[in-house]
A = this chain, B = another copy of it.
Amino acid sequence: MIVVRPVSGLPEITAGDDLARLILEAGGSPEDGDVVVVSQKAVSKAEGRTVELSSVSPGARANALAAEHGHDPRAVQVVLDESIELLRAERGVLISRTRQGFVCANAGVDASNAGAEDRLVLLPHDPDGSARELRTALGRRSGRRPAVVIADSFGRTWRHGQCDVAIGCAGLAPLEDWRGRPDADGRELRATWIAVADQAAAAADLARDKVSRQPAAIISGLERHVAPDDGPGAAALVRPPAEDLFR
């Protein structure tokens, strides 16, 4: 059985905030083996990963893309700065590979719930590092050993809407590999390689409210995927560009 509890009543997060303290003070009480899922936006804001549009000077490429797609050229410049490769720029949508290796819209740069007008929130520099730090801090402050997932909402190539996925994780096995193991008939399972951390992010999103400041949720029931070591992180979920069939 899986239980997902949102953590409510956190204050607005600002740069320098101690997220572990805020989550525990808000009544989030993770036990050993629980998974604490925190929104990327909360982590980025605590890390000061924001940009004020007024500080951005767009270059020629950003100006051209912005004109073509009806965007603010300063926001496009920020997306380009956060990207290592622009995969598509069509119908107002910019799909790029981010510096962290993720392929997503607008390099994960987002203006909603940014905390101020004309502020953009960027992805953490090193989301797995952020997850490890938060895990350590939660463990130190609570005396428990939960795992941590940092979640962001990504669109899907051939499906409408977004699902939350893990952009960072620590202490949770991101993938469960059943390939080669037998099925109920004793036949080898071929393609069963489960993105546990992404499904945990999605489950947490179902329990969180987008408007009423619930940047975290705690999942119980995933103990068999939780390990003492931090593990490979969400980096293990990134398909390398060389294996990309849809560049």
Contact = CB atoms under 8 A, between A and B. Distances in A.
A236 interface: yes
B206 A222 contact: yes
Given A192-B162, A212-B184, A103 B157 contact: yes
The copy count of this chain in the complex is 2
A165 B195 CA distance: 12
Interface stretch (A24-32, A51-59, A140-148, A196-204): A196-204
A215 to B, nearest CB: 10
Contacts of A99: none
Interface of A: 1-6, 12, 88, 90-91, 93, 95, 102-103, 105-106, 110-117, 153, 155-165, 174-175, 178, 181-185, 187-196, 198-200, 202-203, 205-207, 210-213, 221-222, 236-239, 243-246
Given A213-B184, A222-B206, A191 B105 contact: yes
A111 B182 CA distance: 12
B2 A161 contact: no
7 contacts: A2-B3, A103-B157, A156-B157, A157-B245, A159-B238, A160-B193, A199-B206
B245 A113 contact: no
Contacts of A174: 161
